[in-house]
Structure 1
Amino acid sequence: MSWSRVLTTSYGAPMMADRLLWATSAASAVYLRATAFLFVRMLPLGYRFMPKISGAFVISLASFTLSRQHVRSPPSARTSALWSTLPILFGTYSRRNPLASFAGLLLNILAFIACMDFIYRAHILHPSESLAFSRTGYVDSNSARIVLRDPAARSQSQFSYRASTSSETETIPVPALTEDSDYTATLELIGLISGIRYFYNTTGAHAGSFVTSAAALKKFTMISTSCQKPFYPYSPLAHSLAMPGLSHLARYVESTPPEFILFLGDFIYSDLPMQIEPLTTRFYRQLYRQIYASPSWTRTLRDLPWIHVFDDHELINDYYPNMAGGEDMYSRAMDPFEHYQRAANPPRADHDGRKTYTQFRRGDASFFILDTRTYRATPPAKASGGSGSRTMLGAEQLGELLWWIDAEDGWKVVVSGVPMTRNWSEGGDEMDSWAGYLDEREVIFQALWRVGGGVIVSGDRHEHAAFPESHTIIEFSTSPLSFFYQPFLREYVSHDETIFNLPQGSSKFGQLTFDSSDEKKWMIGFELVVDGEKAWEYEHVWSRNQSS
C-alpha cells in the first residue's frame, strides 16, 4: 500500500496526504534557503548550521519526489498569477505548473550547492602548493626580516638588496628551501641605514621593498586588527581566496603607509566555516598558504612590516593546552606559525626561539607581545566569575611582563590576542578572554597603575570597543579584518564604562597614531575603519607627570 493511500485511509480525508506533502515541501524549502543564506552571508558556523541545512535539503527532495508520485491536485484550486508562483517560492510540486515546480526544486539544489561551494571550493581548487611569494616582517632602524617561499627555487639562489640612496648592492645566499619548512625561509638583514627605503630581489624573481624606521621617532602610526577568512561573505562569482577586508586595508594604507601592522591572531581558521580535515601539520600549512595566495594582497601590503600574534583559531576554537589532544595539536599548528610568521617577528633579546612572546620599541613606545595560549591554565566555568589562582601567561612570561612594566620608559603597550579590560561580558566564550583569569589580570593592572597606566591593543571579538581612559589604562580592541560579525542575537554585552562599541561591519581595523612631540602632553589618536570607511575617531591624552 502506498504512503499516500495509508494517509488517506488513516485520516479519512482524500486530500490529507496532498496537504501534508505540500506543507512539508514548503517548510523544508523555506528553512533550507533561509538558513543557507544565513550561513554563507552572515554567520558561517558550519558546525551549527550544516546538519540542519543538510536535513532540510534531504526532506525537501524527498517530499518533492513523493509529491510527484502521489499528489493529484494542489491544496488550492486557485489559478491566479500569485498562486502559480507558489511552487517556485516554496519548492513545492504542482501538476498544473510543473515548470515552476522544477524551478523551485532548482533553487533548493542551488542553495545546498552554495553551501558546499563555500566550504570546499578553496580546499579543492586552491591548495596553493606552488605558491611563491615574499613579504616583510619586523623592521627597525638598522635591520629587517624578509620571508620567502618558493618551492621551485634553486638551492643556490641569491638575495640582493640595496638602499635607495646607493647604487651598491649587497648579496647574501638564500638557505635551501625544503619541504621541512614548507619551502620557506626568513632572512635577516642587518647593518642597515635608518629612515630610508631598501629594494630587494632574488634569483627566483621575487622583488619588493621596505622602509627602515627613523632613528628618533616622535610620531608614528600603526594598524591593529585580527581575524580573517577568505571567501566571506560568499559570492559564487568571487575568487575563493579573496578577502574584501584585505582590499579595504590595501586602499587605506596606499597613500600613507603605517610604520607597521599588528595582526593579533586568527590569521587562519582551522575550524570555520567547517573543519574539513584532521588537524595535521599539512592541513595547517595549507591554510597559511591559502591566505598568502589571496588575490587581495597588493605589493604595498607585502612591503609593509607585519608583526603576528597567534590565537585560538590557528589551532582550534577556544584552545588551551590541557584540552583533549591539546599538546599534539599545538606542535602541529606551531610548525607553520614558526616558518611563516614567528621567525619574522621582533626577536627576543635572549634569542629563545621556543618562546613566542617578545618586546620591541618604536619611538617613545615600548610594546610587549603576549602569548595568551601556550601557557594558559584550563579556563573556569562561567559561574566562577573568573577569580582564582589560574594563569593565562605562565609564571615566567608574567615575571618578564612585570619586569618590562617597571623597566621601560614612555608608553607601555600591551599586545593581547584576547580582550583584557571589561569591554564585554556574556557570550559562550567569555571565560576564554581575560575574564576567566581576573586575579592574574589584577596583578598586571596594578603594576601598570603604579607607573601611570598603559595602552592595551587586542582583537578576537569581531567587534570594536574602546574602554576606558578614566582608569589610566585604555584598550583598543578591533576585529575582524575580513570575516563575520553578529548582526542580531549578539552574545556580547558592552558596559557603561565603554567609550565606544561598534559590532557592525565585516571588516574593521584601527589606526593608532603615537605622538610624543609635546614633552608634557603625549597623544594617541585612534581611527576606526569599518568596511573601508572611517567610522569613529578618538584622542587619548597621557600627561607626562603620570609616569614614574
Structure 2
Amino acid sequence: MPTILGAAQTASSVLLRLGTYIFLRIIPGAILSTVLPILFLVYLFSFTVEKLVRLSGRQSESESADIVDAKYTQDGAETKLDATDVIGVTVKTVPSSVTISTILFNLPTLAPWAKAIGFLINLACIAMVADFVARPFYETHEDLVFTRVGAVYHDAAKIVVRYPRPSEGLRIVWKQMDGTGMLAYSDSDESGWVDGPSLDLKAEDDWVGVTRLDSLWASTRYQYRLATLNSTLLPYPATPIIFRTFPDPRLPGSHFKFIATSCLLPNFPYNPLAPTTRLEGFRLLKQQLDSTSTGSTPPGISIPTQGATVEIAAPAVSAEPQLTPNAVEPSNSSALPVHQAPATETNHSSQIPVVRTETEISSPLPFIGTRHSASFVPTEFMIFMGDFIYADVPYFIGDSRESYNRLYRRTYASEEFRQVYEQLPVLNIYDDHEFKNDFEGRSNDSTYLFANASAAFSTYQGNANYHTYTDASGRVVNYFDFKYGDVAFFILDTRRYRSVTGRNTTEEETPTILGERQLADFHQWAARVNSTAAFKFIISSVPVSALWGGPNGQVDTWAGALEERRVFLDLLEYIPNVIILSGDRHEFAAVEYITGAREFSIRQATPLNQFYIPFFKTFDIKNGQTRKIKYVVKEEVNRSVTEFEIVEQIPEEKILAYLPSGNHKWGTFEVDTTNASSPTVTLELSIDGAKAWTHTIVGKPVKYTGSTALGTQIAQISGSIKGMLGRLGKIFG
C-alpha cells in the first residue's frame, strides 16, 4: 500500500503541475478546468491516507529508509537482514536524499520538509486555477464608469457612456478644437462647452447608453466631457475625450492608419500578481501608438500645469435627441453639414452656470491629435474582429444576460484597455465566444444563447457601430459598412445566419456563413463601392481561407461552406483592390487568392489577449482548394499550326506569410490613396510588441464615378465656407 500511495502522489502531482502550466500559460481549455481539481483530489486523498497510516503505526519509517550494516552473528556465521527481518533490532538508518527532482516531481521521500514543500506547490497550483476560473463569477465590476467613441462619420460621432445609478440625468458637453489644435485649457476660454444630447441610462441596459453628436465638420478635432443636466462637469473623465471626424466620403485621397485585431482573455497568460483585468496586449499596443506619435506634445497644444483651475463657460444651445438603438441612420452625404455655433447671448433665466473644476493632465495626448510633422500619419480607429469576451473560457459563465454583461464590464474595467479606448474609436463585431464556442445562429433568433448574448453585445458594442442595414422586419442587423474618405469597409456577421455542413445542417440545407439577405446586401455594397472607393476592406470574424486545419479549421471557417465561398470569391474577381481581414485563428497568416484579393488573418491571445499553442500548427497548403483553368497553346510544325486546349488544376491560394507564435498580435494598416494612380496599403504586423512582418500592396488605379468625382469641388466649397465662418467668429466673438 505505501508503494501505491507514493506512486499516486507522484503521478497526480506531475500531471497537476504540468496541466496547471498548460491551463494558465498555453491554453485555458474547459476540459482542464475539470480535470485539474480531480487530480488535486487524488493527490490529497493519497497524501492524507499515507499520513494516517504512518500515524497509526502500521508502517515504520525504517521501511522506507536505507538500512546500512543490519546484520547479526550466530555460531560464528554472519547473516545480513532486510527491512522485513528487523523487528526489535536497532539498526543504523540514513534518511532518503532530497534532490531537485524530488521536489519537482514530488518523488517519495521521508524528509518532512520536502513533503511539505510538495504539498504547498500543489496547493498553489489548484489555488491559481481556482482563482483564474472563479474570477468572472464573483468580480462583477458593477460600479464601472467609462465612456468611449464608437462610429465616427464626416459630420457626426457616436458616444458610449456607462454611469451606474446617476442621481440625475447626464448629458454630453462638447466643443470644437481650433485650427491649431488648441485645447483652450485656460481661464480666458471664451468659447465654452456646448450642450450636447442627454442620456437616459437604465438598469435594464446595465446603465449603458449611446448617443450621437451631429452637425460636425469633417476632418475636425472635437472634445467632450460628461456633465449633469445643468452642465456641471462630472469628475469622470478627468480630461476631455478627443476625437476627429472622418473626411468627407465624396473626397478622393486619404492617408491614415487603423488597427485590426481580435480575441481578449483578461490576465492570460496568467500572472497571480497582476490585476485580474490585465490585458497585456493593449499595454503593448499603447506603447506602439505612443512611439509613433514621437512622444512629444503636438505643436500648438497648450497643457496646463498639474492642479490648474479650469474655468469653462457652457452657453446654451439646442441639444440633439438621444440615439434610438434600432434606428437605421440616415445618410447625410448629400448635404454639407450646418455648424451649430454657440449662442453669444443667453437669457438669464436659462443661463448655464460657469463651472470650475480641478484637473490634472497625467496621460499623453490622443493618437488622433494634431500632426507632429508632415510625415506623421494619424491612427484613426480600431476594428475588433470578434471574441471580445470568452463566455465559455475557461469555464462557461452561464447564459443569462447579466452573465454576459459581467464579462463586458470586466474587459472595459481593464486599465490597459481604458488607455486605448478613451483615445481611439473602436468598432466591433462578434464571433463565437461572445456566445459559446463554434456558435451557429441558423437565422433563428430564438436559438439557444442568441437572445441574451446578442442583447449584451448590442448594449456594449453593437449600438455604437454604424447602423446601415435592416432585416425583413425592419430591425437593425449587426453587419454594417462605412467609409473613411475614399476607402470602404464592410463588416460581416458570420454567426447569426451561419448553418455549416458537418455539424448542424441537414442534407437538404445548403451550408451558409452569411445567409441569403446578408449576401445580397454585400453584393449591392460591392457594386456601389466598386468605382467610388480606392480600397475595399472586408472584415470577416472567421477566415475565408480554406488552408486552416486543426479540430475545426475545415468547419468553423469559410471552408465549411465551399459553395457560398466560391460565389463570394468569384464576385471579388471583378472588384479591384480588395483586402480581407479576419480573426478567430490564434496564428497569423497572409494569403493571396487567384482573384487578386489578399487576406490577413490576425488574432491575438491576450490580444490582443489569448493563447497560441507553440507545438501545434494548423495552417497548411494541403488543406486548400484548387481551381480548374483552361488555356490554348498553339504549336507550329512544318508550317502547320495546331491548337491544343490544356486544362490544369491550380491552387486557389498562395501563402505570403505564416507566423504562428506569440500571444499578442495586431495589424497596423497605413492606407494612402493620395496618389490615385498608385494607391497603397502597408501592413505592419506586431507580435508581442515587436514588428514582425511588413507587406505593402500597390493597388490598381480607380477611375472614380458618381459623387466621388465631384469631391474636389465640394471640398473647395466646404473649406471656403468653414474658413469664412471661422473668421467671422473671430471678428464678432
Superposed CA RMSD = 2.8
Aligned to 1:90: 105
2:451 is the alignment partner of 1:331: yes
Q: Please give the secondary structure, in 2, of the residue aligned with 1:397.
A: helix
Find the partner of 1:513 among 651, 657, 670: 670
What is the TM-score when the length of structure 2 is the normalising length?
A: 0.68
1:120-131 alignment to 2 at 5 Å? 120-124=134-138, 126-131=139-144
Equivalents in 2 of 1:72, 1:389: separation in Å? 71
CA displacement at 1:219 relative to structure 2: 1.4
CA displacement at 1:438 relative to structure 2: 1.1
Q: Please give the secondary structure, in 2, of the residue aligned with 1:83.
A: coil
1:312-323 alignment to 2 at 5 Å? 312-322=432-442
Equivalents in 2 of 1:57, 1:101: separation in Å? 15
CA deviations on 1:235-293 (whole Å, 9 max, x unpaired) are 11010111101111111223443111000000000000111x32110100000011001
Find the partner of 1:522 among 679, 701, 712: 679
Aligned to 2:309: none
2:12 is the alignment partner of 1:41: no
C-alpha spacing 1:29/1:326, structure 2 compared with 1 (3 Å): farther
Q: Percent identity?
A: 30
Asked whether the equivalents of residues 33 and 133 of structure 2 are also in contact (C-alpha less than 8 Å), the reply is no
C-alpha spacing 1:444/1:52, structure 2 compared with 1 (3 Å): same
Aligned to 2:720: none
C-alpha spacing 1:100/1:336, structure 2 compared with 1 (3 Å): same
CA deviations on 1:35-56 (whole Å, 9 max, x unpaired) are 11111111111x2213321222
Equivalents in 2 of 1:192, 1:82: separation in Å? 78
1:62-461 alignment to 2 at 5 Å? 62-68=45-51, 69-70=53-54, 71-73=59-61, 75=64, 77=66, 83=98, 87-92=102-107, 94-95=109-110, 97-124=111-138, 126-165=139-178, 167-203=191-227, 204-207=234-237, 208-215=241-248, 216=251, 217-254=253-290, 255-256=292-293, 257=367, 258-275=379-396, 277-322=397-442, 327-348=447-468, 353-380=475-502, 389-408=510-529, 409=531, 410=533, 411-452=535-576, 454-461=578-585
CA deviations on 1:376-405 (whole Å, 9 max, x unpaired) are 124425999x99832211111111111111
Asked whether the equivalents of residues 505 and 530 of structure 1 are also in contact (C-alpha less than 8 Å), the reply is yes
CA displacement at 1:76 relative to structure 2: 6.1
Find the partner of 2:8 among 16, 24, 28: 24
Asked whether the equivalents of residues 255 and 673 of structure 2 are also in contact (C-alpha less than 8 Å), the reply is yes
Structure with bigger helix share is: 1
Equivalents in 2 of 1:250, 1:177: separation in Å? 30
Equivalents in 1 of 2:596, 2:418: separation in Å? 38
C-alpha spacing 1:350/1:38, structure 2 compared with 1 (3 Å): closer
Aligned to 1:7: none
C-alpha spacing 1:452/1:387, structure 2 compared with 1 (3 Å): farther
C-alpha spacing 1:237/1:448, structure 2 compared with 1 (3 Å): same
Aligned to 2:39: 56
Equivalents in 1 of 2:655, 2:478: separation in Å? 30
Asked whether the equivalents of residues 171 and 198 of structure 2 are also in contact (C-alpha less than 8 Å), the reply is yes
| Amino acid aligned to 1:450 | Y
Q: Please give the secondary structure, in 2, of the residue aligned with 1:240.
A: coil
Q: Please give the secondary structure, in 1, of the residue aligned with 2:601.
A: strand
Asked whether the equivalents of residues 25 and 90 of structure 1 are also in contact (C-alpha less than 8 Å), the reply is no
Asked whether the equivalents of residues 677 and 700 of structure 2 are also in contact (C-alpha less than 8 Å), the reply is yes
Aligned to 1:11: none
Larger Rg computed on CA atoms? 2
Equivalents in 2 of 1:458, 1:280: separation in Å? 29
C-alpha spacing 1:489/1:382, structure 2 compared with 1 (3 Å): farther
Equivalents in 2 of 1:535, 1:266: separation in Å? 23
CA deviations on 1:175-204 (whole Å, 9 max, x unpaired) are 221111110111101111122221111124
Asked whether the equivalents of residues 136 and 406 of structure 2 are also in contact (C-alpha less than 8 Å), the reply is no
CA displacement at 1:494 relative to structure 2: 5.2
C-alpha spacing 1:238/1:184, structure 2 compared with 1 (3 Å): same
| Amino acid aligned to 1:206 | Y
CA deviations on 1:337-367 (whole Å, 9 max, x unpaired) are 1111111112316695531111111122211
24-33 or 169-178: bigger deviation: 169-178
C-alpha spacing 1:218/1:157, structure 2 compared with 1 (3 Å): closer
Asked whether the equivalents of residues 28 and 59 of structure 1 are also in contact (C-alpha less than 8 Å), the reply is yes
Asked whether the equivalents of residues 318 and 429 of structure 1 are also in contact (C-alpha less than 8 Å), the reply is no
C-alpha spacing 1:185/1:383, structure 2 compared with 1 (3 Å): closer
Q: Please give the secondary structure, in 2, of the residue aligned with 1:498.
A: strand
Equivalents in 1 of 2:455, 2:224: separation in Å? 27
CA displacement at 1:172 relative to structure 2: 2.6
CA displacement at 1:77 relative to structure 2: 2.4
C-alpha spacing 1:350/1:418, structure 2 compared with 1 (3 Å): closer
CA displacement at 1:333 relative to structure 2: 0.5
CA deviations on 1:117-165 (whole Å, 9 max, x unpaired) are 11113432x3101111101101122111110000132332221000011
74-83 or 373-382: bigger deviation: 74-83
CA displacement at 1:173 relative to structure 2: 4.0
Aligned to 2:596: 472
Asked whether the equivalents of residues 173 and 193 of structure 2 are also in contact (C-alpha less than 8 Å), the reply is yes
CA displacement at 1:412 relative to structure 2: 1.9
CA displacement at 1:82 relative to structure 2: 5.2
Asked whether the equivalents of residues 64 and 92 of structure 1 are also in contact (C-alpha less than 8 Å), the reply is no
Asked whether the equivalents of residues 261 and 666 of structure 2 are also in contact (C-alpha less than 8 Å), the reply is yes
Aligned to 2:692: 535
C-alpha spacing 1:131/1:368, structure 2 compared with 1 (3 Å): same
Asked whether the equivalents of residues 92 and 105 of structure 1 are also in contact (C-alpha less than 8 Å), the reply is no
Q: Please give the secondary structure, in 1, of the residue aligned with 2:526.
A: helix
| Amino acid aligned to 2:665 | K
Aligned to 1:13: none
C-alpha spacing 1:50/1:194, structure 2 compared with 1 (3 Å): same
C-alpha spacing 1:296/1:141, structure 2 compared with 1 (3 Å): same
2:485 is the alignment partner of 1:485: no
Equivalents in 2 of 1:345, 1:302: separation in Å? 16
What is the TM-score when the length of structure 1 is the normalising length?
A: 0.90
| Amino acid aligned to 1:56 | L
Equivalents in 1 of 2:450, 2:497: separation in Å? 11
| Amino acid aligned to 2:686 | V
Q: Please give the secondary structure, in 2, of the residue aligned with 1:521.
A: coil
CA deviations on 1:12-64 (whole Å, 9 max, x unpaired) are xxxxx33222222111111111111111111111x221332122211111222
Equivalents in 2 of 1:163, 1:259: separation in Å? 17
Equivalents in 2 of 1:81, 1:75: separation in Å? 8
C-alpha spacing 1:453/1:221, structure 2 compared with 1 (3 Å): closer
C-alpha spacing 1:238/1:179, structure 2 compared with 1 (3 Å): same
Equivalents in 2 of 1:523, 1:156: separation in Å? 47
C-alpha spacing 1:222/1:469, structure 2 compared with 1 (3 Å): farther
C-alpha spacing 1:354/1:80, structure 2 compared with 1 (3 Å): same
CA displacement at 1:531 relative to structure 2: 0.7
Q: How many residues align?
A: 527
